[in-house]
Chains A and B, each alone.
Chain A
Amino acid sequence: MGGSWLQYVAGGLTAGAIYALVALGFSIVYHASHAINFAQGEFVMIGGMSAVSLVGLGLPMWAALPLAVLGAAIVGLLVQRLALERAQARGQADVVTLIIITIGVALFLRGLAQLVWDKRIHALPAFSGSEPIPIGGATVLPQSLWVLAGATLAVLALGWFFNRTLYGKAMRATAINPLAARLVGVSTRGVMRTSFALAAALGALGGVLTAPITFTSTDIGVMLGLKGFAAAMLGGLGSFGGAIAGGLLLGLIEGLGAGFISSSYKDAIAFVVILVVLFLLPGGLVGARRSDRV
């Protein structure tokens, strides 16, 4: 049936766009510190839940959403400032230590979220209504288009930031050679903080874009974090283009797999992908983009 696979693709791409945003967050932090931030999924949750609270307080959507993303960015900044900087400053910047700290942070954020908010499921109103749009034999929600558009804009903005602005280039320089970057006056600490804030903002953006479709609650962080990580691994950890490609590809595989093989094992697909990547393609699709150490 012609319409079926198109429907699976549409659903898969929508989910894939969110995975891409989460994967981008992973890649940005990895790029700057070679650590994997396992709290990334929680930022998606914080974005969605903050938006729900702000809308609940009476704020209009166009104000609540940017504020929610900003709030998450501040949380990301605080995580780096309070949890990780100490380990890094004392020269104990062993990557494994940092990773374990982020796991602790993830647990902490989740617990805190359950106290601040509640444990129920919440929805955000769709940005522009929920009348399905027929495309080919499939129907697409307007919100799905918002997700894809939002993700694309974020990616373009990031591209401009890293390639065209001085600070963006400074961040890339720090990833290539931190010592040399510091010698020319780039603050490594500032770069780390900005990386975290950016990663959190991206995650939160994903959270607010998708909440009208998938609902949000305080425990969505775990699965999203793991799937986003799978996507980042698939694309190649540290590569931005890889993160986007990995996210979309993972979403597509999930959607098509659920449609044509079995819908019960949808979640397993992401984990099979991680295993396949680790066994066969450790550098991901893009191949390990190793920074040149001069």
Chain B
Amino acid sequence: MGLNPQSVRSFARRWLLPLGLPFALAAPAWAQEPIRIGSFLSVTGPASFLGDPEQKTLEMQVDKINAEGGVLGRKLQLTVYDDAGDAEKARTFAKRLLEQDKVDVIVGGSTTGTTMAAVPLAEAAGVPFISLAGAVVIVEPVKKWVFKTPHTDRMACDKIFVDMKARGFTKAALISGSGGFDKSMRGECLKVAPNHGVQIVADETYGAADTDMTAQLTKIKGSGAQAVLNAGFGQGPAIVTRNHKQVGVNLPLYQSHGVASKEYIKLSGDAAEGVRLPAAALLVADLLPAGDPQKPVVTGYRNAYEGKFKSDVSTFGGHALDGLMIAVDAIKAAGGTDRAKVRDAIEATKGYVGTGGVVNMSATDHMGLDLSAFRMLEVKGGNWSLVK
């Protein structure tokens, strides 16, 4: 027997075909491509109390969906990278997700800084990118492939100024940090304050890793302000809150939705009493009236998260959940992972009830939330309470 065409052919006919055919027929079954969801989050670093619950939520929800059969019969494959709050690292990871991991959709970008670093890459690659960060600049001007789930910083400013006016305050002091979100929210608040008849009489800043803001708060104390607005997230606002009490500023303090987590209350201690901030309904799930459309969604997510991770639920994890589920619903509506179709389906999201509110997107609105999605909360007795 030699290695000639005839003997090879007969060998194939005798052995390979009978043995190979079953595998060839079965191939379509396990060659089903998984749906690749990519994510870059700030799991460590100064924004860790955004990225950590986001990662946990994404993993928990992906496992749940896969256990229930996946999406369109395909498994979800989640790839998460930790950018530690660094925009440069975020860019590198986004590149890796798009070029190496070839993801179908990105749900990530814990902070404005990391999100904006990745936006040009997503736009160039034509991959839908649902951001989990706050600043309005992410969706304004509207970018074809970029969406976001959290409320914008401009909405937070509006909600806060409305509350200030209701309490009779017309002069406010602003104090913000040096991060992307802080700067963006500060800019928005300065822009919209006149619309509400509020005058900004002081505008202080601090560094992202600063541990002493007594100097800035001392200046605010003497500025004639009637209320203080801290636009920031991370550990800065907790220190501002403590210093605010220490220096004896004695003015109502408003925080941004960037610190809407129990972590903030814990770090600030009893200095947090009376602090108000706009936040999603998730934080006060139990206080929502029975007919509230968000109540089942937020209660369900909260129970699942707290049951699994034994730590308090956070609105940032909620934004990650909304981002993932909007993407999943869009993939179902598009019947597959064709990027253009999924993008169109995301843009067509209407009436989606999430942890952040009821989402109605459009070609000009890639966020889909309005002011009613924000509730005004106040810290009472170390816990959240609904205002009005």
Contacts and interface: CB of A to CB of B under 8 A. Distances in A.
A223 to B, nearest CB: 6
Interface residues of B, number: 36
A258 B213 CA distance: 9
Interface string B174-211: 00001000000000000000000000000011110111
A132 B43 CA distance: 35
Interface stretch (A35-43, A90-98, A116-124, A197-205): A116-124
Contacts of A264: 178, 205-207
B218 A7 contact: yes
A10 B212 CA distance: 11
B285 to A, nearest CB: 23
B317 to A, nearest CB: 14
A255 B267 contact: no
Contacts of B270: 130
Contact of B52 (A14, A120, A267): A120
Contact of A119 (B43, B204, B238, B245): B43
Interface in B237-265: 238-239, 242, 245-248, 263
Contact of B235 (A10, A121, A141): A121
Nearest to B205: A264
B385 interface: no
B269 A263 contact: no
A7 B209 CA distance: 20
Contact of A7 (B205, B206, B247): B247
B207 A219 contact: no
Contacts of A219: 44-45
A123 B239 CA distance: 11
Given A11-B215, A121-B267, A215-B238, A114 B44 contact: yes
A220 to B, nearest CB: 8
Contacts of B222: 1, 4
Contacts of A119: 43-45, 48, 52
A214 B45 contact: no
Interface string A203-243: 00000000001110101000100000000000000000000
Contacts of B210: 263, 266-267
B247 A255 contact: no
B266 interface: yes
A139 B250 CA distance: 13
Given A7-B247, A120-B48, A263 B239 contact: no
Contacts of B360: none
A123 B207 contact: no
Contact of B49 (A4, A120, A262, A263): A120
A30 interface: no
A100 B218 CA distance: 43
Interface string A251-263: 0000100110011
Interface in A161-218: 213-215, 217
Contact of B215 (A132, A223, A259): A259
B207 A266 contact: yes
Nearest to A1: B222
9 interchain residue pairs of minimum CB distance:
A214-B211, A119-B44, A259-B215, A132-B246, A11-B212, A7-B218, A11-B214, A121-B235, A119-B48
Interface of A: 1, 3-4, 7-8, 10-11, 14-15, 114, 119-121, 123, 130, 132, 134, 138-139, 141, 213-215, 217, 219, 223, 255, 258-259, 262-267
Interface of B: 43-45, 48-49, 52, 178, 204-207, 209-216, 218-219, 222, 235, 238-239, 242, 245-248, 263, 266-267, 269-271
Given A3-B218, A264-B206, A267-B210, 13 more contacts: A1-B222, A10-B214, A114-B44, A119-B45, A119-B52, A121-B263, A130-B271, A139-B246, A215-B235, A255-B212, A263-B204, A265-B207, A266-B210
16 contacts: A4-B222, A8-B218, A114-B44, A119-B45, A130-B242, A130-B271, A132-B248, A213-B211, A214-B212, A215-B235, A219-B44, A219-B45, A223-B209, A258-B216, A266-B206, A267-B210
